[in-house]
């Protein structure tokens, strides 16, 4: 009954193929129409699939595998080209195609003046297709296929402006780190195959609980290897350095890939494999720990960045940390709910920032913005909504999802006070940095009058408005998400109510906003005093804890040195020399032999005699 779900993947694929083939020959309007239309059609098919799914009673919603054809059947190993239609995958479909569609429409306006318009939409469609393959995969094989394809699309889109050296380098950095994750995933898949004999999700998850005790070595190995991939893709410590640099790409790319969809692939992975993770509680603690440490790490760095997109990028990293915290604790549906609300308000923030950047002719430095609230009212309003949602102000969607996670970090079975404390502290930092960003951008005097800032065209504003509504009202979807995803996770997440903790978090949030206001709105001297007082800390944060420098010193330079050494010694002097010598020695030998041909008849005769004598020797004596 879910055969039509294949269309969800097919439309973006056709869009990619069509636009990359004919994109240059059709008009811009048609390109935009096709590019957005395919995703819109996918979204429509997603709704159709959703309604089909809702018709079924909750217990029957899991495990529908739509097979296209049987690909490999080798002994006991079977691999089919198939998609998995269950609440979790449909949930991800909704986010990917829905938010994706909105961002596509926005891109029509944002990339309007770009000469490579059709290539952009082709790549965007490729990305959507890859992401859908990832979340629709019914086995580890196609999960990894989608994983790698998404990394490729990310590389193509980050480095979209090919003439910009910094963009190309950033794309390469992102791709290299993604490949590290891919290696982990592939090794994990191999171990899974060796352990279970199959790569199918259904078979693996069904047989795992019966085969292993908790914290078994093989379970720990598999889950940790899968985590390498998840952390690389979702920019958690220590594989996070690519995400800030990825902001070199166009803003719609940052909104789509690095806020709403690709970076959430890691979270999706843990959710999908929760059966395996539940069998390895040590790994779950590890996930929660890494998540929360990344959250505070990124939050602290976001407070001192000057590039508005980088502030939002670190914010993404931080919020992903929250999601991983939720996954690590075991409240999966809360993590997925936060994924959804985060997609709404983070994409909104990116697009609003993009609107600002677009109207200021490419200016991204916060210090050069300001006073835009009267000039760009709609952008201002939507940005404010996104900022409030991010900060977790009551009644926004962000409040519901983040609060739930913060409370669970203390009250859930695997939660403890340390997690809670760091989560609350990070929430405070979140409020500080996003208020700072908001104040810098929209308040004060107009610091860049020369660019003639103006409100963006409607085609860019309407997507902002759509997402703003979702960011504001999406909180009500919380309980529905919990019940919808319950069949997949096996239980409905427990929503604790603890007034004391809630009020503490609220106070911290508002305190953060107030701090930002005090520091950045009142006077510049006070700000400079504050900065001087905390100078060493400020330096550390500004230079991103020197992680990039550490990596460069420990990894990049040795690798380059080894490469240069091998190129010189092994390649040039070793192999090239040997191969050249083969030819040269033949030449030398032949030159030596050619001296034998003296041109003199008598020596030729002598040679003949010698030959005859030798042959006769054989004849006579053998």
Partner 1 sequence: MEIATLFDFALDTVIFVVGVTAVLASLGVILCSSPIYSALYLIGHMICLALLFLLYNAEFLAVVQIIVYAGAVMILFLFIIALLGGKKEVQENTFHRAMAFGFVFILLGELYLSATVGPTQQIRGEIPAELFGTAKAIGLELFSKHIVAFELASGLLLVAAVGVICLAKFSFVPLRRRAR
Partner 2 sequence: MGQEFVLLVSASIFCVGTVGFIIRKNPLIMFMSIELMLNSVNFLLVAYSSFLNSLDGQIFALFIITVAAAEVVVGLAIILTIFRTRHEMDVDHIDVLKG
Give least dist CB 605 to partner 2, A.
5
Positions 118 through 147 that interact with partner 1 (CB under 8 A): none
* 616, interface contact from partner 1, partner 2, none, CB < 5-8 Å by kind: partner 1
Q: Does 417 bind partner 1 (CB under 8 A)?
A: no
Q: Does 616 bind partner 1 (CB under 8 A)?
A: yes
* 73, interface contact from partner 2, partner 1, none, CB < 5-8 Å by kind: none
Please give the Cα distance from 281 to 285 (Å, whole number). Answer: 6
* 458, interface contact from partner 1, partner 2, none, CB < 5-8 Å by kind: none
Q: How many CA atoms lie within 13 A of 467 on its CB side?
A: 41
Of 108-116, 175-183, 375-383, 600-608: span binding partner 2 (CB under 8 A): 600-608
280 Cβ contact partners less than 8 Å away, ≥ 6 residues apart: 214, 215, 216, 219, 220, 222, 223
Give least dist CB 585 to partner 1, A.
29
What tokens were used for 95? Answer: 């986010």
Q: Are 437 and 308 in contact (CB under 8 A)?
A: yes
Q: Binding partner 2 by CB under 8 A: which of 74, 583, 602, 621?
A: 602
CB atoms within 10 A of CB 546: 12
Give least dist CB 594 to partner 1, A.
20
Q: Does 601 bind partner 2 (CB under 8 A)?
A: yes
Pattern of binders to partner 1 over 544-583, x per CB under 8 A?
A: ----------------------------------------
Of 5-13, 128-136, 299-307, 598-606: span binding partner 2 (CB under 8 A): 598-606
Of 31-39, 310-318, 319-327, 601-609: span binding partner 2 (CB under 8 A): 601-609
Q: Binding partner 2 by CB under 8 A: which of 600, 618, 619, 620?
A: 600
Q: Are 366 and 441 in contact (CB under 8 A)?
A: yes
Q: Which is nearer to partner 2, 1 or 605 (CB)?
A: 605
What tokens were used for 614? Answer: 């030798």
Q: Which is nearer to partner 1, 69 or 618 (CB)?
A: 618
DSSP string, 409-421: HHHSTT--HHHHH
DSSP string, 354-391: HHHHHHTTS--BGGG----TTTSHHHHHHHHHHHHHHH
292 Cβ contact partners less than 8 Å away, ≥ 6 residues apart: 321, 322, 324, 325, 409, 419, 422, 423, 426
Please give the Cα distance from 1 to 521 (Å, whole number). Answer: 59
Give least dist CB 599 to partner 1, A.
15
The alpha carbon dihedral of 307, 344, 242, 391 has a sign of positive
* 598, interface contact from partner 1, partner 2, none, CB < 5-8 Å by kind: partner 2
Q: Which is nearer to partner 2, 417 or 601 (CB)?
A: 601
Q: Are 400 and 482 in contact (CB under 8 A)?
A: no
- Total residues contacting partner 2 by CB under 8 A comes to 11
Backbone φ, ψ for residue 395 (5° rounding) = 80, -10
CB atoms within 10 A of CB 399: 22
Q: Does 604 bind partner 1 (CB under 8 A)?
A: no
Nearest to 95 by CA among 275, 343, 432: 343
Of 41-49, 83-91, 519-527, 605-613: span binding partner 1 (CB under 8 A): 605-613
Q: Which is nearer to partner 2, 585 or 597 (CB)?
A: 597
Q: Which is nearer to partner 2, 584 or 609 (CB)?
A: 609
Dihedral Cα 27, 29, 32, 35, nearest 10 deg: -60
Give least dist CB 598 to partner 2, A.
5
Please give the Cα distance from 389 to 341 (Å, whole number). Answer: 9
Q: Binding partner 1 by CB under 8 A: which of 54, 206, 561, 609?
A: 609
Q: Does 67 bind partner 2 (CB under 8 A)?
A: no
* 610, interface contact from partner 2, partner 1, none, CB < 5-8 Å by kind: partner 1
414 Cβ contact partners less than 8 Å away, ≥ 6 residues apart: 281, 284, 285, 288, 328, 329, 330
What tokens were used for 211? Answer: 């085969």
Q: Does 613 bind partner 1 (CB under 8 A)?
A: yes
Q: Are 512 and 431 in contact (CB under 8 A)?
A: yes
Q: Does 606 bind partner 1 (CB under 8 A)?
A: yes
Q: Binding partner 2 by CB under 8 A: which of 605, 615, 616, 617?
A: 605
Of 66-74, 489-497, 550-558, 600-608: span binding partner 1 (CB under 8 A): 600-608
Give least dist CB 568 to partner 1, A.
50
Q: Which is nearer to partner 2, 518 or 609 (CB)?
A: 609
Give least dist CB 617 to partner 2, A.
15
Q: Binding partner 2 by CB under 8 A: which of 73, 503, 598, 614?
A: 598
Helices 417-442 and 397-411, packing angle to 10 deg? 160
Please give the Cα distance from 255 to 315 (Å, whole number). Answer: 12
Nearest to 11 by CA among 46, 49, 39: 39
Q: Binding partner 1 by CB under 8 A: which of 535, 593, 620, 622?
A: 620
- DSSP structure class, residue 278: H
Positions 535 through 594 that interact with partner 2 (CB under 8 A): 594
Nearest to 405 by CA among 500, 330, 302: 330
Q: Does 620 bind partner 2 (CB under 8 A)?
A: no
Q: Which is nearer to partner 1, 566 or 615 (CB)?
A: 615
Residues that bind partner 1 (CB under 8 A): 602-603, 606, 609-610, 612-613, 616-617, 619-620
Interacting residues with partner 2 (CB under 8 A): 594-595, 597-602, 605-606, 609
């Amino acid at each position: 009954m879910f055969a039509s779900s294949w269309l969800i993947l097919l439309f973006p694929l056709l869009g990619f193929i069509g636009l990359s083939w004919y994109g240059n020959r059709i008009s811009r309007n048609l390109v935009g129409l096709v590019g957005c239309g395919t995703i819109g059609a996918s979204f429509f098919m997603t709704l159709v699939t959703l309604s089909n799914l809702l018709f079924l009673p909750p217990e029957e919603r899991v495990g529908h595998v739509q097979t296209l054809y049987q690909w490999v059947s080798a002994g006991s190993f079977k691999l089919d080209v198939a998609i998995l239609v269950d609440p979790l995958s449909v949930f991800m479909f909704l986010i990917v195609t829905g938010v994706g569609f909105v961002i596509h429409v926005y891109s029509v306006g944002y990339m309007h003046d770009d000469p490579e318009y059709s290539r952009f939409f082709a790549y965007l469609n490729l990305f959507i297709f890859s992401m859908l393959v990832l979340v629709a995969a019914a086995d580890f094989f196609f999960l990894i296929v989608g994983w790698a394809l998404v990394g490729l699309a990310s590389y193509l889109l980050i480095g979209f402006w090919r003439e910009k050296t910094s963009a190309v380098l950033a794309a390469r950095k992102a791709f290299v780190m993604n490949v590290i994750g891919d290696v982990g995933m592939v090794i994990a898949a191999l171990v899974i195959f060796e352990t279970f004999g199959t790569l199918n999700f259904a078979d693996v998850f069904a047989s795992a609980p019966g085969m292993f005790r908790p914290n078994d070595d093989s379970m720990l190995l598999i889950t940790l290897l899968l985590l390498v991939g998840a952390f690389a893709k979702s920019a958690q410590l220590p594989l996070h350095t690519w995400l800030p640099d990825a902001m070199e790409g166009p803003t719609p790319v940052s909104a789509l890939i690095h806020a709403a969809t690709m970076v959430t692939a890691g979270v999706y992975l843990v959710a999908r494999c929760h059966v395996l993770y539940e069998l390895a509680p040590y790994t779950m603690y590890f996930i929660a720990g890494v998540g929360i440490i990344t959250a505070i790490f990124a939050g602290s760095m976001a407070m001192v960045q000057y590039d508005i997109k980088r502030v939002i990028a670190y914010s993404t990293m931080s919020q992903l940390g929250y999601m991983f915290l939720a996954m690590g604790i075991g409240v999966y549906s809360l993590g997925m709910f936060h994924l959804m609300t985060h997609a709404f308000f983070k994409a909104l923030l990116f697009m609003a920032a993009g609107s600002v950047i677009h109207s200021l002719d490419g200016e991204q430095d916060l210090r050069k913005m300001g006073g835009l609230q009267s000039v760009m009212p709609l952008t201002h309003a939507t940005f404010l909504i996104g900022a409030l949602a991010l900060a977790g102000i009551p009644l926004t969607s962000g409040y519901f999802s983040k609060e739930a996670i913060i409370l669970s970090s203390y009250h859930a079975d695997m939660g403890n006070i340390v997690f809670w404390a760091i989560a609350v502290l990070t929430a405070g930092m979140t409020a500080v940095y996003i208020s700072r960003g908001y104040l810098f951008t929209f308040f004060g005097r107009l610091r860049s009058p020369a660019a003639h800032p103006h409100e963006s065209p409607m085609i860019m504003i309407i997507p902002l408005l759509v997402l703003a509504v979702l960011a504001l009202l999406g909180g009500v979807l919380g309980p529905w998400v919990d019940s919808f995803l319950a069949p997949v996770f096996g239980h409905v997440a427990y929503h604790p109510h603890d007034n004391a903790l809630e009020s503490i978090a609220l106070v911290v949030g508002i305190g953060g906003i107030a701090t930002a206001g005090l520091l950045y709105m009142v006077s510049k001297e006070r700000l400079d005093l504050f900065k001087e007082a905390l100078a060493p800390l400020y330096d550390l944060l500004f230079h991103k804890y020197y992680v990039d420098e550490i990596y460069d010193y420990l990894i990049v330079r040795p690798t380059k040195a080894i490469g240069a050494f091998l190129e010189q010694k092994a390649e040039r002097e070793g192999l090239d020399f040997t191969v050249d010598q083969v030819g040269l020695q033949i030449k030398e030998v032949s030159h030596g032999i050619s001296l034998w041909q003296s041109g003199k008849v008598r020596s030729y005769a002598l040679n003949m005699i010698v030959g005859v004598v030798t042959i006769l020797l054989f004849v006579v004596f053998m």
